[in-house]
A and B are shown apart, each in its own frame.
Chain A
Amino acid sequence: MPEGSEAATLPTLDPSDVVFDLERLSCFYGSFRAVREISLQVPRNRITALIGPSGCGKSTLLRSFNRMNDLVEGAHIEGSVRYHGVDLYADGIDPVEVRRRIGMVFQKPNPFPKSIYDNVAFGPRVAGYRGDMAELVERSLRRAALWDEVKDKLRDPGTALSGGQQQRLCIARAIAVEPDVILMDEPCSALDPIATLKIEELMHELKENYTIVIVTHNMQQAARASDLTAFLTMGEDRAGHLVEMAPTEQLFTRPANALTESYITGRFG
């Protein structure tokens, strides 16, 4: 039995607090298993970090939360992902509706080659939003801490912004569809330290209204910014599995698992 799969220690959560409930989730690309039997829970209005060495399936796991893996030919899962109790992979569940409620920010900022305004307005528009779009755009940009910097140039192309601003634009874009959860896949790895800090501050503000799950290979970032941390690693079969999950402070100061301790003290990964 791969080390740590059944013995993963998990924090106990109040059931009404649970947003995601994964039960023995395995993710496959064709016949290759990228993620093995992960069981964990994600609480609402908190920042949950997924850390671990590169290649251990953190991104794959994150993408299974909003069915982004569906876009890859041959991808499928075993086990279940429950969101507010609803099995996301059940028949009849529309992945498009899933993604409207569980948004995603990617590693490399990817604004559309459109104006800043149109970038933010795209999501709500295709979702059929009929309210005051200008107000929604402003509100989203404010919440992403970008409004003051762009309010006079909303018609400028989104690609003309700096890297950090582009990423905040992508966050504003994700917020505009009024999701419940924001997934972030290494959102700062392409940014300089100052931009990174701004995003981390932003995340702290955002968790008041959204549940955030972030994948990061930067341990210090996880330690700084998250409330809970889940540590994954790759087993002999090249599939990622959960080693330990705990409140961040506890995981980094008094890890329960020897492997966790090795990782956070830099002995591997």
Chain B
Amino acid sequence: MTTPLTSSDFQIAPQRRRREQLVHAAFLASAGLSIVISVAIVVALAGNAVSFLVNVDKSALFAGGWFPRRGLYDIPTIVAGTLVISVVAMLVATPLGLGAGIYLAEYASPRSRRILKPIVEILASIPSVVLGFFALTFISPRLIQPLTGAPLSNMASAGLAVGVLITPLVASVSEDAMHAVPGFLREAAYGLGARKRSTSLEIVFPAAISGIVAALLLAFSRAIGETMVVSIAAGGTGGSLFQLNPLEPGQTMTAAMTALAIGSDRVRGSALTFESLFFVGLLLFAATLILNVASEAFVRRVRSRY
């Protein structure tokens, strides 16, 4: 004769439940940590940045050159440097990266893709200091200088190196975007007697355009945040005048921060130079945040379509 079931038969053992709750709490805390980090970043940057803005002589912010040691903090100089290098980088990475991505997605056989993709991943894992060194010791003296007579440190070689740095990013994200286009669209095109190039370029590529724009935005964000290549190869140590010519040395936001941090631009005892570091950091953070959010928006458009 079996005893009838009661609700207590369906209760979990207290010890088991306690462990379950502890584990749940631990995991929740880990996730919440990410919010803490974000808040910390904003607070760390904002505190000092605001202090800088309050204390700095406003005219110094548009003084025509970035020379922290002399109290000149021309923001347009470092923004211009960042943009010049990033634009050069995108001019390199967009055709190379998209070309590679389209080839891998639409033309490469499974066997060649198995070989080529890991090589692209290897390219993606090269640290930026290595590319910075390459820019200074190879790209500039062997490519840029002979053709243009530019000084050894110039924004063009740094820009080319940053372009190489972000090309694998463009290639792999755009390849994923093209892969995500459903097969039935390709089938419809082939069924009409279209050739592979018409199908790839006129059907698949436009269908993947949101993902591709997301890739380019992400790459641009990466380019403006790039530090080591520009610190090593773009020049601008000791300060720089406003400069739009890529064949001249220039100063980016990131290189300016590096120079301030390692002390070459710092004035002992001056809180202002220390705070300027955070102000520039805040600008950079805001810019990359906007680009990343925009990139996210495009990725969401892709997901909603299919």
Query: A interface vs B, CB < 8 Å?
Result: 66, 68, 71, 73, 96-101, 103-104, 106, 108, 110-114, 122-123, 126-127, 170, 173-174, 177
Contact = CB atoms under 8 A, between A and B. Distances in A.
A126 B71 CA distance: 63
A112 B203 contact: yes
Contact of B191 (A66, A114, A127): A66
Given A71-B187, A126-B202, A170-B188, A113 B194 contact: no
A89 to B, nearest CB: 17
B194 to A, nearest CB: 5
A113 B180 CA distance: 14
10 contacts: A71-B187, A97-B193, A98-B193, A99-B191, A100-B192, A103-B191, A103-B192, A110-B187, A126-B195, A177-B192
A123 B206 contact: no
B195 to A, nearest CB: 6
B80 interface: no
Given A112-B203, A113-B207, A122 B184 contact: no
Nearest to B306: A113
Given A113-B305, A114-B206, A122 B191 contact: no
B294 interface: no
Contact of A110 (B188, B193, B194, B202): B188
A73 B188 CA distance: 18
| Chain B binding surface SS class | helix
Contacts of B192: 99-100, 103, 122-123, 126, 173-174, 177
B185 to A, nearest CB: 6
B194 A106 contact: no
Contacts of B187: 68, 71, 106, 110
A99 B190 contact: yes
10 nearest CB pairs, A to B: A100-B193, A123-B192, A99-B193, A104-B191, A126-B198, A110-B184, A110-B188, A126-B194, A96-B193, A113-B207
Contact of B188 (A96, A98, A112, A127): A112
Contacts of B150: none
A206 to B, nearest CB: 17
Contacts of B191: 66, 68, 99, 103-104, 106, 174
A141 to B, nearest CB: 15
Contacts of A106: 184, 187-188, 191
B195 A108 contact: no
Contacts of B203: 112, 122
Contacts of A127: 193
A3 B283 CA distance: 78
Contacts of B184: 106, 108, 110
B185 A110 contact: yes
B50 interface: no
A174 B187 CA distance: 13
A213 to B, nearest CB: 14
A96 B305 contact: no
Contacts of B206: 113-114
A112 B194 CA distance: 13
Interface in B180-227: 184-185, 187-195, 198, 202-203, 206-207
B193 A122 contact: no
B203 to A, nearest CB: 6
A143 B207 CA distance: 28
A114 B194 CA distance: 16
From A108, A122, A170, residue with most partner B Cβ within 10 Å: A122
Given A113-B207, A113-B305, A114-B206, A123 B185 contact: no
Contacts of A68: 187, 190-191
A99 B189 CA distance: 10
Given A122-B202, A126-B198, A126-B202, A112 B185 contact: yes
Contacts of B188: 106, 110-112, 170, 173
Nearest to A185: B191
From B194, B203, B206, residue with most partner A Cβ within 10 Å: B194
Nearest to B207: A113
A123 B199 CA distance: 10
A104 B192 CA distance: 7
B208 to A, nearest CB: 10
A7 to B, nearest CB: 34
